[in-house]
A and B are shown apart, each in its own frame.
Chain A
Amino acid sequence: MSDLTTPQGNPDGHGSAPAKLGYSPVADIPHKPRATDTDPKAARRAERQVASMFLLSMLFVVLFVVAYVAIDKTSVVYIPVMGEVGASNVALGFTMGMAILLIGTAAIQWAKKLMPDVEVVQQRHDMVSPKRATLEAEANYERGKEESGFVRFRLIRRTLIGAMVLFPIPLVVMLRDLWTPTEYTEGKSPADLLSTTLWTGGMRIVADGTYQGEHSETDSGGEITGEPVSPDDSLAHRPIRPEDLPVGGLIAAIPLDLPEVEHAEGNLNARGKAAIILVRMEPDEIRSQQGTGWDVEGILAYSKICTHVGCPIALYEQRTHHLLCPCHQSTFDLADSGNVVFGPAARRMPQLPIGVDEEGYLVALSDFEEPVGPSFWERG
């Protein structure tokens, strides 16, 4: 190890003359010349290898351009192991990959075979600064303290500290802007928003994703000419009657207002809290639920958001009544108040109390009584 720190030119028994900086050979390691060092034929061969790899790389670049121009983007080819794949993607990826791989391989081959491979030592300074420099720095600090009068001017010192302490406050205050109030969240604090959802008493439950995928106009040939009916049109979502859901059935559902709110807010925050699933079991299979009479003839509504870290769950097993989260295998028993039966979730799945309105459609009776989604500080 001393070899690395001894100053340049100290023979230390090596007996070699002082070499150019960065070129001092390590005398103790026996150097074995390569074939390319001793045999000029081998050196020529290595040179040809490297040059032909660079040439091949150029060829692949040309092939890339040809493939880009010539191959139809939609054409599909069968390649063993890979199956049916897009011809253009595979050709472009292969030629560009080979072009860059060959440049790299040629460079390594060049370095390994033809560049000098003699072991050398690079001399370095000690990490510690010289004593003189550290003393000078210390003296500078003391002089600065003296000349600035930081100790003498008590008022200045204290007001400076006060200003420094207060300065970060604007940065903290601005964090509030991470939450943008909309007409739907007006008057609610961020803390309220964490524990409330769009559901209110009497809010109709509609099936998610059931907007009619119809187009407003078609010409005589059946070609679509008009705009598609917007998925945000809340009227297009289907309300649910209890008889629509058979025993063993499952419906992914949202509040009637959600599409409108989602559109106005331009994000999925409301959906991330309000999404529910409706399941139906025989009423005598329900062992317990979170409130008396929160079901409608065996139809139960539970949050779709896992209480562990908030994955949406709808892996419902209709015979075991288990709801499994695919992210970390938390399992909830929907026949037993949504209690956790397996996995890392710490809290049961919140249940939404539901009823039927005068037109016979399922509605929420109120918002969730427990905050939905993953835990936060105020919620154990």
Chain B
Amino acid sequence: MKFLAARRRSPIVASALLVGALVTVGGAYAALGAVEPAQAALAVGAETQVEKGQQLYLEGCSSCHGLKGEGTQTGPTLVGVGAAAVDFQVSTGRMPLAAPGAQAPAKTENPYSEEDIAAMAAFVAALGPGPAIPTAEQLDYASADEAYGGELFRINCAQCHQAAGQGGALTQGKYAPSLMGSSPKTITEAMLTGPQNMPVFSDAQLPVEDKQAITSYIVGLQEASSPGGLNLGRFGPVTEGVFLVTAIFAALIAAAVWIGIKSR
């Protein structure tokens, strides 16, 4: 007893007791939870993926998002953002962030394989319920109404991403990116999860068919040619005006100078 009494206040003992208590509670929970055999087998597979995801998360993400995804001063919480958010942010190269700043730009280089991303998505999905990665069926826009999608796009998306999906400026250095390189999957995931400052467009608000219609419209924009000629980036009156007062006015001034010069 003297041995115990002497070491009772040691910090090691406190930690050991905590670990012991956690193991006991966790074990009891696992033992008491009636798990079906098939589900248990699935859970084991998922467990290893989640563990791998956790490992990758601790290495690549935890410095900003916290060891348990609780968020820190530099990064928001990931509890409840769902697998779709991870898939969107990491597969487009937005995360891990290259440098802190107003915008998290998409990058072409991505340090993670698809398997890695799936593992991290599984880990983050396990932190709390959130939107799942959309299925191929959800993404199939083949039978969607493109014109209706255009109307929804102009009401819900065009204010930031511009009517032709070219993107636009937000406040204080932030911007809404161009959608010209976005795949149906990233488009749908962005609507589901509201990355960075984009609002969330849930399935209750824009049901799957509406999202398919919007995707169909964006793909239509991506594939559209410019029947009218030089499209000047499809930015509308601003670039057209700049082109007018620079290139066209320069040509007119040159013509006026030629008319005015005395012939020799």
Could you tell me which A residues sit within 8 Å of B by CB distance?
Answer: 34-36, 76, 81-86, 89-90, 93, 108, 112-113, 117, 207-210, 213, 240-241, 243-252, 279, 312-320, 322, 324, 326, 329, 331, 342
Contact = CB atoms under 8 A, between A and B. Distances in A.
Given A208-B155, A244-B205, A315-B159, A89 B228 contact: yes
Nearest to B197: A317
Given A207-B205, A250-B201, A252-B156, A85 B230 contact: yes
Contacts of A207: 205
Given A76-B225, A117-B263, A248 B200 contact: yes
Interface string B132-176: 000000000000010110011011100110000000111100100
B196 interface: yes
A280 B205 CA distance: 13
A113 B154 CA distance: 56
A315 B155 contact: no
Contact of A319 (B197, B205, B213): B197
B194 interface: yes
A317 B202 contact: no
**Max chain A CB contacts within 10 Å: which of B148, B155, B169, B196?**
B155
A112 B151 CA distance: 56
A108 B225 contact: no
Contacts of A279: 199
B257 to A, nearest CB: 12
B219 to A, nearest CB: 16
A86 B263 contact: no
A81 B171 CA distance: 32
A213 B160 contact: no
Contacts of B174: 317
A248 B200 CA distance: 6
25 contacts: A76-B225, A81-B230, A83-B225, A209-B151, A209-B155, A213-B145, A240-B205, A244-B204, A245-B202, A245-B204, A247-B200, A248-B199, A250-B199, A279-B199, A314-B159, A315-B159, A315-B160, A317-B170, A317-B197, A318-B198, A319-B196, A320-B171, A322-B171, A324-B171, A326-B168
Nearest to A342: B171
B170 A34 contact: no
B148 A213 contact: yes
Interface residues of B, number: 40
Contacts of A342: 171
Given A209-B155, A318-B197, A82 B229 contact: yes
A108 B170 CA distance: 50
Nearest to A213: B148
A107 B80 CA distance: 74
Contacts of B201: 249-250
B98 interface: no
Interface of B: 76, 145, 147-148, 151-152, 154-156, 159-160, 168-171, 174, 194, 196-202, 204-205, 210, 213, 225-231, 258-259, 262-264
B197 A84 contact: no
A93 B229 contact: yes
A241 B204 CA distance: 9
A313 B170 CA distance: 12
A326 B199 CA distance: 17
Nearest to B147: A213
Contacts of A245: 202, 204-205
A210 B228 contact: no
Contact of A83 (B160, B198, B226): B226
Contacts of A208: 155
A298 to B, nearest CB: 13
A84 B226 contact: yes
A73 to B, nearest CB: 9
Nearest to B258: A108
A117 B154 CA distance: 59
Given A252-B155, A316-B199, A82 B226 contact: yes
A86 B228 contact: yes
A76 B231 CA distance: 14
B198 to A, nearest CB: 7
B259 A318 contact: no
Contacts of B199: 248-250, 279, 316, 318
Contacts of B152: 209-210
Nearest to B261: A112
A10 B229 CA distance: 61
Contacts of A34: 263-264
A34 B261 CA distance: 13
Contacts of B262: 117
A313 B156 CA distance: 11
Contact of A86 (B156, B213, B226): B226
A25 to B, nearest CB: 16
Given A244-B202, A247-B200, 12 more contacts: A82-B226, A82-B229, A89-B227, A90-B229, A112-B259, A207-B205, A208-B155, A209-B154, A248-B194, A248-B199, A319-B196, A324-B171
Given A209-B151, A249-B201, A249-B205, A35 B159 contact: no
A247 to B, nearest CB: 7
Nearest to B151: A209
Nearest to B76: A319
A213 B213 contact: yes
A249 B198 CA distance: 8
